[in-house]
Amino acid sequence: LSPTPHVVVVGAGFGGLAVARALAADPVQVTVVDRRNFHTFQPLLYQVATAGLEGESITHTVRGIFHGASNVNVHLGTVANVDFETHELRTAEGTTISWDRLVLAAGAVTATFGVPGVDQYGFGLKSLDDALRLRSHLLRQFELADVNPELIGDGAMTVVIVGGGPTGVELAGALAELFSLVLVKDYPHLDLSRARVVLVEAGDRLLPMLHPRLSEHARKTLEARGIEVLLGETVEKATDGSVGLASGTSLTTRTLVWAAGVRAHPLAEATGLPLDRSGRIVVGPDLRVPGHADVFVIGDLAAARDRHEDLLPQLAPVAMQQGRHVAAELRREAHGRRPGVFRYRDKGSMATIGRNDAVAQLPGGIRVHGFLAWVLWLNLHLVYLIGFRNRASVLVDWGWNYLTYDRGARIITEAGPT
Ligand SMILES: Cc1cc2nc3c(=O)[nH]c(=O)nc-3n(C[C@H](O)[C@H](O)[C@H](O)COP(=O)(O)OP(=O)(O)OC[C@H]3O[C@@H](n4cnc5c(N)ncnc54)[C@H](O)[C@@H]3O)c2cc1C
């Protein structure tokens, strides 16, 4: 590397931030490029969508994160393409940025697998915009039903969630609470017993990454809270008023939330680099792109494999550990050492099912559910949230919501016609 090499990091998500933070005291110049000027803590997006938290509480400006890091620059821009010959990337805004080392960490986007109508009528939950749009839409349905209760029969108070992974399960639990604890007071003239949350999962159980007993606990708890769980069902099509299942069942709804999968960000394809079947960029054991020793890919964008050749999951801890690994690789390289191998340390998985209940699978095969798992979940999310202000405001909101059974952020941000 030249005396102060320029490391360009594309994406200020979990992976990109981990690289830049780890390099903040190193003799390198770092530029973090992101299309947004803030980082989003995606695991809590569903709480914004269900009015439990303000959007600002789960986001942090990228510039604010690097206050005091004199070797880190922040660049607001959307990377459109990468030229590996000239070592330059170009943004949609027309800027050219050259690098000595490049780290691609642009994450993933919602994958609807071409199911007819889902792109048009479904709501994703991948960004703050998605969460705010869903929240506004949901609350508006209740406003409309309040004026014209006949709309309840048209699905105004029915939410269909597709995908029984952590996002689907957590969203379903939070929606059931929003309806039964809060909206029931907001809309005293509506019969909230007619509000439905339907969770559709193609597999034979929820939360397939967890032990079957935890999946079963999650299903039973959700059902006890009034959520209809449909297992072994796939969505065939969506219209503006219904969701059609492969079994022939048609669900009347005005709100379809698609939590059934993500795919690598389209930037992966735009680079022209070899992709694996899931559309992620193929990387070697040290997370470099084969044939491009100066380019690393991490997080949801990378097809990295473990020692059994299994693809690593698209999870925040994978992205963060990979980010720290890249920083260590650059140091190794600067000291003339041979490349290392990235090893993911799985610290377990968890999902909350709503108030006082969660499921967690910890290292060593330890399984926890119920109140203890819920407390673990709360603590872990607070620890990983960036910024003291965010942690404080989330803690206050959670405390308030817990004690008062209220949700303060019931704001419809999109105004009606002027
Ligand atoms: C609703 C939801 C819930 C989740 N819950 C959990 C959970 O509980 N636990 C868990 O471990 N994981 C969870 N995940 C997955 C986790 O959020 C991802 O695995 C993680 O964010 C991946 O990190 P990343 O750095 O690869 O990408 P991201 O964190 O997605 O960051 C990508 C960044 O790149 C930027 N970007 C994209 N394209 C461009 C471009 N062309 N130019 C410039 N910038 C660009 C984006 O703005 C973004 O800031 C969840 C994801 C979602 C959507």
> Using CA atoms, how far apart are residues 349 and 361, in angstroms rounded to an integer?
5
Give distance in angstroms: CA of 80 to centre of ligand 1: 18
> Using CA atoms, how far apart are residues 204 and 215, in angstroms rounded to an integer?
10
Verify whether ligand 1 is closer than 6 Å to residue 90 (CB atom): no
Verify whether ligand 1 is closer than 6 Å to residue 167 (CB atom): yes
**Residues assigned a catalytic role:** 170
| Predicted local confidence at residue 405, as pLDDT | 87
* 3-state DSSP percent of the chain in helix, strand and coil, to 5: 35, 25, 40
Beta-sheet strand order (sheet of 288-289):
72-76, 29-34, 6-10, 101-104, 292-297, 288-289
> Using CA atoms, how far apart are residues 199 and 231, in angstroms rounded to an integer?
8
Three-state secondary structure readout of 253-303:
CCEEEECCCEEECCHHHHCCCCECCCCCEECCCCCEECCEEEEEECHHHEE
> Using CA atoms, how far apart are residues 168 and 174, in angstroms rounded to an integer?
10
Verify whether ligand 1 is closer than 6 Å to residue 61 (CB atom): no
Model confidence pLDDT, tens digit, residues 246-302: 999 999 999 999 999 899 999 999 999 999 988 999 999 999 999 999 999 999 999
Q: What is the pLDDT confidence band of residue 2, given thresholds at 50, 70 and 90?
A: low
Verify whether ligand 1 is closer than 6 Å to residue 105 (CB atom): yes
Region label for 59, one of left (φ > 0), alpha (ψ between -120 and 50) or beta (otherwise): beta
Query: 124 vs 167, 174, 303, 403, CA distance in Å?
Result: 11, 16, 23, 30
Contacts of 65 (CB under 8 A, 6+ apart): 12, 17, 21, 39, 386, 387
Residue nearest to atom 6 of ligand 1 (CA): 43
Model confidence pLDDT, tens digit, residues 319-350: 999 999 999 999 999 999 999 999 999 989 99
Residue nearest to atom 17 of ligand 1 (CA): 42
Verify whether ligand 1 is closer than 6 Å to residue 268 (CB atom): no
Q: Ligand 1 pocket test: pick from 32, 33, 41, 42 the residue with the most ligand atoms within 8 Å of its Cβ.
A: 42
- Given the structure tokens 């909206």, which residue do they identify? 183
Q: Ligand 1 pocket test: pick from 10, 79, 315, 374 the residue with the most ligand atoms within 8 Å of its Cβ.
A: 315
